[in-house]
Structure 1
């Protein structure tokens, strides 16, 4: 029988975590699903851990070369999915048992909406924290968001979508490769969420807590950085699908993502020029913001990082 939900789990060298992730999917109270594990050319014992599960709902696909960010692996899983809905679960994170059941309840309540998300929890070295959007809205019930709504909140650090919380109606997908494989090493999912809501016009956010992401404060990625170019190109990529008002909101959001990507690039390379930041900004819609960050970018990097951390902690 065809499953209702296809769960795509990209795996690259997650031997210490993948069993927890898969078990959290198998423990869902909603059971009409398949799990598509996409081996992204792991070199550790991740696949041996997966093979320990004998559930017929698990399928394993293999890629010959790893793709940064797991984007190619997720796209592969989408192409092979059999379900009416597609969900994603990172191999080092986990779901709460009611996630799929609550998501399907929301799907039945809002049958015209093809994009569902929910609240997320993070675990930073044992310290549990609810995502900022959920903190503000979890007591107010489901939220209907259009592109401009999503961008306005995201500019304030309130993102209503995350990889482990999202479900997409398969028939509404405009293509089978929604993640930017080959265009970014990191943070390409943030590009994908904007693309999805722009193409699908609206989303619904559910107040249930879907997932828990495990992070270590001591872990700092030095192997990959977000792409300034990808975020800058988001505007031209979406121009055919948005109006003038949405374009202005998008450019403001892109400016903040470009600044974020520039900071992350600066952390690993002292050679990145301020001129690259200036070229990537959309000055016409956000002159004060762009001028502010141009001036800040001239400061020594350690001072710049300190100011940025202080800004984030003040939210």
Structure 2
């Protein structure tokens, strides 16, 4: 089997049918759809179970709500395809995309990772924008380290797991599972995956429709845990960075971690909490002049750093 599409589900009754229908209508037989329900409290599980009539659909109902990371891990373990794709249950994919993806994979001799473009679509305005998470050259093969350097030297490492496909044997062999209980889990998982990959391909193909919906987990609620988890991820990425032998890559990775640390403090408004924040942590790690200025301000005053960043985003 070529591909397993893992669809984690939690309280998405408004969107789930469109998501699953976009997969069923692929008219492609060498694919399975693994739906993992995270103890939804709405009609999501009922909607998913309607699709069990299709032979290539497997619906797994978890006994407890344990979050997105755990749902994806269940999907990885239950999948049988050569490749894995993660599809968020409020998103959908283009008609005929799976066949096209298989053609790309065969042509490029089965990379460990293939990254694609996506269509970012806003629920409130119906606006659509074609984007690429990566900023490096399109239609090119890299080693994992080459790709990481190419991205990080441009101050980029877009973490979203959904905008790529991954060789399942590569994921399992390297024990590359998501860490349960974390928000922003992709910020930890994606660098781990890239740095262990032998072969990464950047495709210019766009097939994923990413919905920016009102009230999604990334846009609503108290953000304290978001910030706390981001700082926790930085400490875990420190361990990964210390294993890097290439000094150029290590330098750029440290800069990336520093920026995540400052982003986590800002997003979670952690200057207002009792959480211990190392104000000099980013300053010890940055290598770009522009980021050094930010790290100096961060070290001087967390509150001032927060206010200036909020003014920039609102302006």
TM-score normalised by the shorter chain: which range applies? 0.7 to 0.9
Tell me what 2:243 maps to: 240
Aligned pairs for 1:183-194 within 5 A:
184=182, 186-194=183-191
What do residues 57-84 of structure 1 show as CA deviations (whole Å, max 9, x unaligned)? 100112222223x000101110111111
| Structure 2 unaligned regions, length at least 5 | none
> 1:283 maps to what in 2?
284
Correspondence 1:165 to 2:163: yes
Matched residue, 1:88 = 86
- The aligned runs of 1:227-266 (5 Å cut-off) are 227=229, 228-240=231-243, 242-266=245-269
Deviates most, 276-285 or 25-34: 276-285
How many angstroms apart in 1 are the aligned matches of 2:45 and 2:215? 27
Residues 45/154 of structure 1: CA separation in 2 closer, same or farther (3 Å cut):
farther
Equivalent residue number for residue 294 of structure 1? 299
Structure 1 residue ranges without an equivalent (≥5): 311-315
Q: d(CA) in 1 for partners of 2:149 and 2:75? A: 28
- CA shift for structure 1 position 141: 4.5
Match for 2:272 among 256, 270, 273?
270
SS of the residue aligned with 1:59? strand
The answer on 1:306 being equivalent to 2:311 is yes
Asked if 2 retains the 8 angstrom alpha-carbon contact of 1:117 and 1:161, the reply is no
CA distance in structure 1 between the partners assigned to 2:150 and 2:274 by the alignment = 29
The alpha-carbon deviation at position 169 of structure 1 amounts to: 0.9
- Write the distance in 1 (CA, Å) between the matches of 2:260 and 2:305: 21
Q: Structure 2 matches for 1:40-189, cutoff 5 A? A: 40-53=38-51, 54-68=53-67, 70-111=68-109, 113-124=111-122, 125=124, 126-133=126-133, 141-145=138-142, 146-147=144-145, 149-150=147-148, 153=151, 158-159=156-157, 162-173=160-171, 174-182=173-181, 184=182, 186-189=183-186
Q: CA RMSD in A?
A: 2.8
In the TM superposition, residue 176 of structure 1 has moved relative to its aligned partner by 4.7
SS of residue matched to 2:299:
helix
State the aligned residue count.
300
The Cα shift of 1:237 comes to 3.0
- Change in Cα spacing, 1:79 to 1:153, as seen in structure 2 (3 Å) is same
Q: In 1, Cα distance between the equivalents of 2:37 and 2:268? A: 28
Asked whether the 8 Å contact 1:8–1:77 carries over to 2, the reply is: yes
